[in-house]
Amino acid sequence: MLAPQLPAAAAGAGDTIAAGVRACLQATVPAGIEEASLKAGGWEAYDFNGGDAASMPLRIHSRGRGPILLTGVGAAAKDWGCHVVAPLSSTAGFAATVDGITKELGVRPTSNDPAETLWIVGDKGVLLAAAKDTKQTSVRATVVTIAEGMK
């Protein structure tokens, strides 16, 4: 089972994710996430590694315009667990989440298009992203955008 939470602060270190932002992101995380149940539920999986062997491999689980789950693959899963993106069906909710993170933490977008943006937050690199339609093969172009933004 994938860990349904954001990375915890390191022992003895301050939490780089503001409490309000953490709560907002965690509120969108399912109670339990299993690969088999995701597949049975109609989720599509897309893997990429950022373009080179040194990049952290990720898996994107998507289902239409619903939430996108970014999960670590292999060793990355242990370090990063599961990260959830605001549901695309709620533009206002996504905008409010982005606005809250921008004000509280400061973010770095990888695109001027809010529908194809990866936000890198804090020293653990919490991911917040959206894609126009992840059910279509155009998701691979979005994957390239995400990978380039991580370099």
Domain range enclosing 102: 19-150
Task: Report yes or no on 7 lying in a domain.
Answer: no
Q: How many CB atoms lie within 10 A of CB 17?
A: 22
pLDDT at position 58: 46
Give Cα separations from 71 to 12, 59, 92, 105, 134 (angstroms): 26, 5, 25, 22, 16
Task: Report yes or no on 94 lying in a domain.
Answer: yes
Task: Report yes or no on 142 lying in a domain.
Answer: yes
pTM of the model: 0.29
pLDDT at position 45: 62
Reported as a single tens digit per residue, the pLDDT across 91-137 is 444 455 445 444 443 444 444 444 444 443 333 333 444 444 333 33
Q: Please tell me the total count of domains within the chain.
A: 1
Task: Report yes or no on 65 lying in a domain.
Answer: yes
Please give the Cα distance from 119 to 21 (Å, whole number).
Answer: 13
pLDDT at position 76: 37
| Strand bridging mode 58-62 / 69-72 | antiparallel
Task: Report yes or no on 2 lying in a domain.
Answer: no
Reported as a single tens digit per residue, the pLDDT across 48-78 is 444 444 444 445 555 544 444 444 433 333 3
Task: Report yes or no on 108 lying in a domain.
Answer: yes
Task: Report yes or no on 91 lying in a domain.
Answer: yes
> Is the confidence at residue 87, as pLDDT, over 60?
no
- Mean pLDDT (whole number) for 73-96: 40
Please give the Cα distance from 37 to 128 (Å, whole number).
Answer: 23
